[in-house]
Structure 1
Amino acid sequence: MEELPNNSQSFTALGSQNNASSKRVRVVVSQSKRGCVTCKAHRVKCDEQKPLCRRCLKAGRVCGGYIHEAKSSLLSALQPALKCGFTMDSHAERLSYLAAHVLFLDSRDCHPREGSAWGHVFLQLASQVECVKAAAVAFGAAYESSQINLIGHRPYSTWDYYGSALARLRSDFNNGSVGAESLTLASMVLAYVEILSQHEQNAFTHFLGAVQILTQAEQHRWQVSSAEMLSTIKDALVKINLLIGSYGLSQTPQYMYLDFPRVPTGDDEFCEPELAIDAAMHCLYRSYQFIEEASHLRYTYSNWKEHDSTMCKAQYDAAAECRFVLDGLAALATTLQARYSSATPTPKDLDMLAEIYATRTQLTSALIFVLCAHSPYETAYDEHHDQFQSIISDAAASARLKRRTKPSAFKRFSTRPGIVSPLFIVSIKCRNPSLRAVATALLNEQSREGPADGRILAAIGARLAALEMISSILPSPSAPLAACDIIEGQRVYGYSVSPRFNGESRHAVDVIFQRPNPPLMQGWGHTDYSCQDGWMYWSETIEI
């Protein structure tokens, strides 16, 4: 008879197997000895992806690179392959990759729409043309310098790379060996470098250089390697003007062929957010054109409405277009809010709604300047309390929505205007004390948008308000201050600012304020306010 199995032994063996399998096994992960400096500083394992590790990208940190590397050719999915034999050190390769990654994403961390200049066009030219590659490295260095508090080592000199890129661009421009599309794109990237460094005037100079290159290309005086690329870059160029905050395209007639792409402003345009924002950008551009044209008459008449019927018609049309687009954006925002209240919105949805509110602040600011363009007096702004209140409300809504979204892996670099400039306009042009104080407080909470730094502008606005309040005349000691209590002759008309880059950091700015001298009410008719002799300037250092 066959012997039966020993069940007690079987159960014992099975139990020991179960106990062994239920025990927690500690997985020993070897530390990366060749990881990036950022992962080493955070004591985490680096995946050693080159030239920037993906762990840093996903965690929202700027990868500091690999200090042990010798010169090599490093490739990545986003980094353009160096196919033309350009020899660059590994640090420059990493900066080029960083520029490609930052510029490749739009303001909502999404890939740009098909045909964007910062997608495949930028990647292709940066891999094939030396001046574009050098400009990309300069942008990467400037971007990293602005984020240096996030990494644990000092970056290479930003301005060394910038100087090399500028020299390369000048050389290629002079010898005519590079196509107009490459020269234009390199100029645009260098303009972005200046924007990151808060040098608005230098950015505008690069912008005009790109426009001049395109002008020569349009007149067939410059070689073009790809007409399709040139057209894509041209569409991107005309939008930079809105970020820089100047009216460059309307200042010189021969540049007018670069007109902002025409967008029909019908009711259907305000059903889709992207189309609505494009329509608003076109309206903003047209408003800037009118404001620049009207500025030439600013000190010709005390009120040119009585002398120029053509400008009156242009002012009416510009204001009507602004109001129409503002109403369309308000209706769209209401629709989106109702939609998001019944379903959980995605971060992209919240960012889009925040951008709609930000666009409204830009348009409302432009509307105020359009409505005040006929008068040289600062008291003209006192009539637009409702518009100033609207800017504050929309800016607060935009900021509130952005706080609900997860922070970007990289600090955003967008070519679309935000809420900083409109809030600053309220802080310097609205003399209502309560609105002015709210705008300054909101402004102080904002970070940088293009060349505009919220904290710096808040400090300038606060000082300007203090200067005007010192000279205000109250009807009685106990009466609250009102806008009408600040007399015209004591109002500050404008300013210019020069950031300090010496020493440790940007903790102070030198600001030059200006006002008419003598005041307009006294000197009108015998003082030429169109030249500097009719103005008084004084400089102050403002601590941030």
Structure 2
Amino acid sequence: MEALPNNHQPSTSPRSGSDSSAPTSKRSRVVVSQSKRGCVTCKTRRVKCDEQKPLCRRCVQAGRLCGGYNHESMSSSALQPALRTGALADSQTERLSYLAAHVLSLDNNGHPLREDGVWGRVFLQLSNQVQCVKAAAAAFGAAYESSLNNAIVKSPCSAWRYYCSALAKLQSGLNDETAGSESLALASMILACVEILSQHEQNAFAHFLGAVQILTKAYQRLQGAPSSDILNTIKDELVKIDVLIGSYALSRTPQVALLELQVPAAGDDVFSEPELAINAAMRCLHRSYQFIESADKLRYTYPSWKEDNPIMCEGQSDAVTQCRSVLDGLAALATRLQTQFSSATSTLRDSETLAEIYAMRTQLTSTIIFLLCVHSPFETGYDEHLDRFRSIVSDAAASARLRRRTKPSAFKRFSMRPGIANPLFIVILKCRDPALRALATTMLKEQGREGPTDGQIMAAIGARQAALETSASVPFSPGAPLAACDILEEQRIHGFSVPPPRLNGEGCRVVDVVFMWPNPPLVQGFGHADYSCPDGWIYQSETIDI
């Protein structure tokens, strides 16, 4: 790296006047010249800053997170061109990359979500400096702009052109090693977001796994050497995305591979601060999903590992205990924050924080249900957890109510953070209580997109599954309302698959869902039939209007 000049060297010549009599043994202090308008990071480190906007070159070249310029607004210096649709920029690519920065980096009030996170300064830093990241950002901006009026389904050509350009630049960076591992991993993550916007979840998972492989190789090359701040920040975000994918995969067939990076356990003081508590919940969910995926492979092939496999039983017990501990910690934190945020000085960001804590509670509760049922292939096992399903709906309602305080923005933020959509969807799929199922469906229709989850699509799928399961069900007594126990085991749907939405002949969006039942039903064939092959299942295709 080229050395930065220092034009203010301290003088070592004798001073005239009264200063000449000063003792010569006094040590001279070397003063490093600092710019008065330098970035926060350089000022903290007491080094000269080149004041390049929006992020200084010295931080970029050293792999540090540039703290920006505290005397200027981050949004005004870096994101101003994206504050209005169609704002002029140097080029269409620049405009779309700024749009991506606005959607990914800011909340509904135009404030940075988390300046030290991936979608804060890291995204701004790399998208302004590295071609493959800038191209990926432009692809996201094009896909997002198309999604505003549903053009991504009707006319995807424009977004596709930017996507192909970003893929080419990413491949070039991988081949000639002109871009660092952190840039390549971030570009892959952004392209995963593009695929999620386009509702091609499997492609999104492929990009996510590509980012994991890039980062894994980067850590292997370090071999114990300290990694850069940016690498560690991207790794933390990958864990969070993995939690989002795991939450989505709980209700999908087949399961998807999960991140293999080891995540340290949380300490005892994690519930002192909201962000620490949320990160602890993420780590707990990550470990639980890894266990669920490994145990789910035995679901239809190993009749009774609950009694015969002590290692799996111990893993199940440990995972449930950890989830319950974090769930209790979040409950105490929510109570404390609710008291603080009810004051007149509370802000919208306080509401967002509390809403995310309630959302984490819904994620943990649904995970506990799956952990407790993972050893049993029978869907009737979920009937034992009605109180937990009620808790999910209650916490989801609290989270949604707090988020409604946020002033809507012209740009709808794209979130890759786990929210309440997947837990509500799990209630619809696994809770056979008609009233609670209907309430969860109504709430899910009101939710926007959370990563791969589209609230309206999932609500429509869940409503159709409920109709299929209850169509042949008869109440226990004449005239009584239908109850969960009235839906027999052989009527309960065990899984489904769904391709991306399409347009029907009338130009309306539809999805073709394939529902699955064991063949023969488990109550007849479990322990005798082979459910590991496609012939062991009945498939029924349903076209659902969105």
The TM-score range, normalised by the shorter chain, is 0.7 to 0.9
What is the deviation of 1:202?
1.0
> Could you say what secondary structure the match of 1:539 adopts?
strand
1:378 corresponds to which residue? 379
Contact 1:499 1:506 in 2 (8 A): no
- For residues 259 and 448 of structure 1, what CA distance do their matches in structure 2 show? 29
Describe the superposition over 1:424-473 as per-residue Cα deviations: whole angstroms up to 9, x where unpaired. Answer: 10001000111111111111111211121111111111100000001213
More displaced stretch, 454-463 vs 165-174: 165-174
- For residues 317 and 494 of structure 1, what CA distance do their matches in structure 2 show? 27
2:543 corresponds to which residue? 541
Distance 1:108 1:391, change over 3 A: farther
- For residues 543 and 502 of structure 1, what CA distance do their matches in structure 2 show? 10
TM-score (normalised: structure 1)? 0.78
The one of 513, 523, 526 aligned to 1:524: 526
- For residues 370 and 107 of structure 1, what CA distance do their matches in structure 2 show? 36
2:235 corresponds to which residue? 234
The one of 45, 65, 77 aligned to 2:87: 65
- For residues 458 and 352 of structure 1, what CA distance do their matches in structure 2 show? 26
What is the deviation of 1:282?
1.1
What is the deviation of 1:505?
6.6
What is the deviation of 1:225?
13
The one of 254, 263, 266 aligned to 2:266: 263
Contact 1:239 1:260 in 2 (8 A): no
Q: How does 1:199-214 map to 2 (within 5 A)?
A: 199-214=200-215
Distance 1:51 1:536, change over 3 A: same
- For residues 106 and 237 of structure 1, what CA distance do their matches in structure 2 show? 20
- For residues 262 and 540 of structure 2, what CA distance do their matches in structure 1 show? 38
What is the deviation of 1:191?
0.6
- For residues 227 and 94 of structure 2, what CA distance do their matches in structure 1 show? 26
Describe the superposition over 1:474-508 as per-residue Cα deviations: whole angstroms up to 9, x where unpaired. Answer: 22331221111111111111111123244787621
What is the deviation of 1:212?
1.4
> Could you say what secondary structure the match of 1:157 adopts?
helix
- For residues 52 and 118 of structure 1, what CA distance do their matches in structure 2 show? 13
Contact 1:181 1:226 in 2 (8 A): no
Describe the superposition over 1:179-198 as per-residue Cα deviations: whole angstroms up to 9, x where unpaired. Answer: 22221111111011112222
1:85 corresponds to which residue? none
> Could you say what secondary structure the match of 2:263 adopts?
coil
1:44 corresponds to which residue? none
Contact 1:200 1:244 in 2 (8 A): no
Q: How does 1:300-379 map to 2 (within 5 A)?
A: 300-379=301-380
> Could you say what secondary structure the match of 2:221 adopts?
coil
> Could you say what secondary structure the match of 1:479 adopts?
coil
1:433 corresponds to which residue? 434
1:174 corresponds to which residue? 175
What is the deviation of 1:226?
7.8
Q: How does 1:273-292 map to 2 (within 5 A)?
A: 273-292=274-293
Q: How does 1:86-485 map to 2 (within 5 A)?
A: 90-105=91-106, 110-113=111-114, 115-148=116-149, 157-220=158-221, 227-245=228-246, 256=260, 258-264=261-267, 266=268, 268-485=269-486
Contact 2:108 2:408 in 1 (8 A): no
Distance 1:225 1:476, change over 3 A: closer
> Could you say what secondary structure the match of 2:456 adopts?
helix
More displaced stretch, 229-238 vs 511-520: 229-238
- For residues 487 and 125 of structure 2, what CA distance do their matches in structure 1 show? 57
Contact 1:132 1:186 in 2 (8 A): yes
> Could you say what secondary structure the match of 2:404 adopts?
helix
> Could you say what secondary structure the match of 1:508 adopts?
strand
What is the deviation of 1:355?
1.1
- For residues 229 and 98 of structure 2, what CA distance do their matches in structure 1 show? 24
- For residues 156 and 52 of structure 1, what CA distance do their matches in structure 2 show? 26
- For residues 256 and 480 of structure 2, what CA distance do their matches in structure 1 show? 46
Distance 1:449 1:238, change over 3 A: same
- For residues 536 and 496 of structure 1, what CA distance do their matches in structure 2 show? 13
Contact 1:247 1:289 in 2 (8 A): no
> Could you say what secondary structure the match of 1:475 adopts?
coil
Identity %: 63
More displaced stretch, 305-314 vs 399-408: 399-408
- For residues 252 and 197 of structure 1, what CA distance do their matches in structure 2 show? 21
2:56 corresponds to which residue? none
Contact 1:65 1:91 in 2 (8 A): no
Q: Amino acid of the residue matched to residue 520 of structure 1?
A: L
> Could you say what secondary structure the match of 1:513 adopts?
strand
- For residues 309 and 444 of structure 1, what CA distance do their matches in structure 2 show? 42
- For residues 186 and 53 of structure 1, what CA distance do their matches in structure 2 show? 22
- For residues 540 and 107 of structure 2, what CA distance do their matches in structure 1 show? 40
- Mark the structure with the bigger radius of gyration: 1
Distance 1:307 1:360, change over 3 A: same
Number of matched residues?
Answer: 461
5+ long unaligned stretches in structure 1: 1-48, 67-72, 75-89
- For residues 286 and 257 of structure 2, what CA distance do their matches in structure 1 show? 15
Describe the superposition over 1:77-128 as per-residue Cα deviations: whole angstroms up to 9, x where unpaired. Answer: xxxxxxxxxxxxx111100111122222368854254542333332332233
Q: Amino acid of the residue matched to residue 480 of structure 1?
A: P
More displaced stretch, 187-196 vs 407-416: 407-416
Q: Amino acid of the residue matched to residue 387 of structure 2?
A: D
- For residues 225 and 319 of structure 1, what CA distance do their matches in structure 2 show? 34
More displaced stretch, 168-177 vs 345-354: 168-177
> Could you say what secondary structure the match of 1:542 adopts?
strand
> Could you say what secondary structure the match of 1:184 adopts?
helix
What is the deviation of 1:52?
7.9
Distance 1:428 1:502, change over 3 A: same
More displaced stretch, 295-304 vs 276-285: 295-304
More displaced stretch, 498-507 vs 478-487: 498-507
> Could you say what secondary structure the match of 1:495 adopts?
strand
- For residues 277 and 235 of structure 1, what CA distance do their matches in structure 2 show? 12
What is the deviation of 1:294?
0.8
Distance 1:494 1:252, change over 3 A: closer
Contact 1:51 1:93 in 2 (8 A): no
- For residues 128 and 479 of structure 1, what CA distance do their matches in structure 2 show? 66
Distance 1:342 1:133, change over 3 A: closer
- For residues 323 and 104 of structure 2, what CA distance do their matches in structure 1 show? 30
- For residues 100 and 325 of structure 1, what CA distance do their matches in structure 2 show? 33
Describe the superposition over 1:263-314 as per-residue Cα deviations: whole angstroms up to 9, x where unpaired. Answer: 32x2x32232111111111111111111111112111233321111111111
Describe the superposition over 1:194-221 as per-residue Cα deviations: whole angstroms up to 9, x where unpaired. Answer: 1222222111000111111222223339
Contact 1:514 1:538 in 2 (8 A): yes
Contact 1:511 1:542 in 2 (8 A): yes
- For residues 97 and 287 of structure 2, what CA distance do their matches in structure 1 show? 35
Contact 2:416 2:450 in 1 (8 A): no
5+ long unaligned stretches in structure 2: 1-75
- For residues 371 and 487 of structure 1, what CA distance do their matches in structure 2 show? 21
- For residues 408 and 274 of structure 1, what CA distance do their matches in structure 2 show? 24
